[in-house]
């Protein structure tokens, strides 16, 4: 978990990414069993259908009276228009035996457990590939 992404510093100042340590993750090997798999996680808050011609700095109309104006939730909702274009991106380091579907289901359950129902997608997972052998002609072309 140490090489996985964390909640980004400056979340309410626009920092939406925390990508962890890619190299540390894919270098993880448990001989004969599995290796580290680095997966990106995109997290998008559920939003109402976007209204045309609305300024990005205006509050989403459906959220105006949702919560106490001084709460953290209100701070998050104040920037909701940006989330039509941006998403939170993090990463997780898991065993290579895990599928993207399993990771997505676990991420959704974790968010639900803490009371957040966001949309979660796993756009990419990578493991360390064995060394690639190039032919002489491929080497010359490079």
Give the model confidence (pLDDT) of 88-134 as tens digits. 888 889 999 999 999 999 989 988 887 777 889 999 999 987 666 77
Q: Tell me whether residue 63 is in a domain.
A: yes
Q: Tell me whether residue 6 is in a domain.
A: no
Phi and psi for 102 in degrees, rounded to 5? Answer: -65, -40
Query: How many structural domains is the chain composed of?
Result: 1
Q: How much is the pLDDT for 55? A: 63
Q: How much is the pLDDT for 39? A: 94
Q: Which residue has the higher pLDDT, 46 or 29?
A: 29
Q: Tell me whether residue 53 is in a domain.
A: yes
Q: What's the domain range around 84?
A: 22-127
Q: Which residues are CB-contacts of 28 (< 8 A; sequence separation ≥ 6)?
A: 3, 35, 36, 93
Q: Tell me whether residue 2 is in a domain.
A: no
Q: Is 136 exposed, middle or buried (0-12, 13-18, 19+ CB in 10 A)?
A: exposed
pLDDT at residue 38 above 90?
Answer: yes
Q: Is the pTM of this model over 0.85?
A: no
Q: Tell me whether residue 95 is in a domain.
A: yes
Q: Which residue has the higher pLDDT, 29 or 72?
A: 29
3-state helix, strand, coil in the chain (%, to 5): 30, 25, 45
Q: Tell me whether residue 12 is in a domain.
A: no
């Amino acid at each position: 978990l140490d090489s996985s992404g964390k909640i980004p510093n400056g979340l309410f100042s626009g920092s939406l990414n925390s990508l962890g340590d890619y190299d540390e993750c894919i270098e993880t090997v448990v001989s004969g069993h599995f290796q580290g798999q680095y997966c990106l996680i995109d997290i998008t808050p559920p939003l109402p259908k976007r209204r045309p011609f609305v300024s990005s700095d205006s509050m989403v109309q459906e959220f105006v009276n949702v919560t106490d104006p001084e709460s953290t939730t209100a701070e998050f909702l104040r920037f909701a228009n940006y989330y039509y274009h941006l998403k939170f991106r993090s990463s997780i380091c898991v065993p290579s035996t895990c599928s993207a579907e399993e990771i997505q289901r676990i991420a959704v359950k974790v968010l639900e457990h803490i009371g957040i129902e966001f949309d979660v997608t796993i756009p990419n997972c990578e493991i360390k590939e064995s060394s690639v052998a190039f032919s002489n002609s491929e080497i010359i072309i490079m």
